[in-house]
Amino acid sequence: MTNSNTNLTDTIDMDEISTRLAKLAQTPEQFRKINTFMKRRTHMNQNAELALIDTRFAHIILNHCGEVGKLGDVSALTDLRQFFADTPNGTDAPLTLEIGFGMGDSLFEMASNQPERNFIGIEVHEPGIGRLAFMADEASLSNLKVINGDAIALLDNLPDNHLDTVQLYFPDPWQKKRHYKRRFVTQDRMQKVARVLKPAGTFHAATDWEHYAFWMLEVLDNMPEFINTAGAGQFTPRPAFRPQTKFEKRGLTHGHGVWDLIYQKA
């Protein structure tokens, strides 16, 4: 089921969403220290581990540290465009940052399908970081780079008006009320995204979690920094250029809907 309108089901209480968001907005200082991720321990295949350890992959993993088990240090990453200086696209090609690419298949597909654009993915999940770096190397993709680390810290390091697109596909839904503050889409975090986007740049989110879909709509429609390209209060039909992600497929097998939201920086 794909939803492109705002017909609420009985399960969504918009007043409750507004109240929760208002509460979060009053405590930005505490809230900034809260992670949007939980590091998961899952099996890592040999190729992924090789990519994390072998410095041969340092041209793809921008903060390659040669070790496994560490959250990457993003403090030196203050200009993402320069990493494409020696590639055919160069530094001025449109640049997309994907936050939380998981195992990386959909980002790999996007970068393969759009060779004229540059792509950078940031993740904290090492099996995914290593896997995507290995795949990019094997396919000799010069327009795809990977970062190991927390996207919030990275956003804080980047200059204003740096990126053409930021995409956030199937972010952790943090379903329990006490965990809502960990959701990536909040006014505080989205102000960071808005700052690094170029004027008229794009923020594209998708989720299979209905409550989070309406939560995102409530946050973003109320920010002067963003214009909903589908019209206020509306979701966007799933665009053909967005490949299905692993979490999306999993959601669909559980009977979830899928909601896309595309905003332009005002």
Number of H helices, E strands in the chain: 9, 7
- Contact between 123 and ligand SAM by CB under 6 A: the answer reads yes
Structure tokens at 240: 């053909």
Question: Sign of torsion, CA 120 126 128 130?
Answer: positive
Is the Cβ of residue 201 or residue 251 nearer to ligand SAM in the bound state? 251
- Contact between 192 and ligand SAM by CB under 6 A: the answer reads no
Kindly indicate which of the ranges 8-16, 118-126, 221-229, 234-242 contains the residues binding ligand SAM, using the contact rule CB under 6 A: 118-126
Distance CA 3, CA 213 (A): 10
Q: Minimum CB separation from ligand SAM for residue 190, in Å?
A: 13
Name the packing angle between helices 14-25 and 187-196 (round to 10°). 70
- Contact between 61 and ligand SAM by CB under 6 A: the answer reads no
Q: Are 13 and 177 in contact (CB under 8 A)?
A: no
SS3 content of the chain, % helix, strand, coil (to 5): 35, 20, 45
| Closest residue by Cα to residue 66 from 76, 79, 56 | 56
- Contact between 102 and ligand SAM by CB under 6 A: the answer reads yes
Q: Minimum CB separation from ligand SAM for residue 25, in Å?
A: 19
- Contact between 96 and ligand SAM by CB under 6 A: the answer reads no
> Among all residues, whose Cβ is closest to ligand SAM?
100
Q: Minimum CB separation from ligand SAM for residue 96, in Å?
A: 13
- Contact between 247 and ligand SAM by CB under 6 A: the answer reads yes
Binding residues for substrate, by number, are 176, 208, 245-248
Residues found near ligand SAM in the complex (CB under 6 A): 36-37, 99-102, 122-125, 150-152, 169-172, 184, 245-248
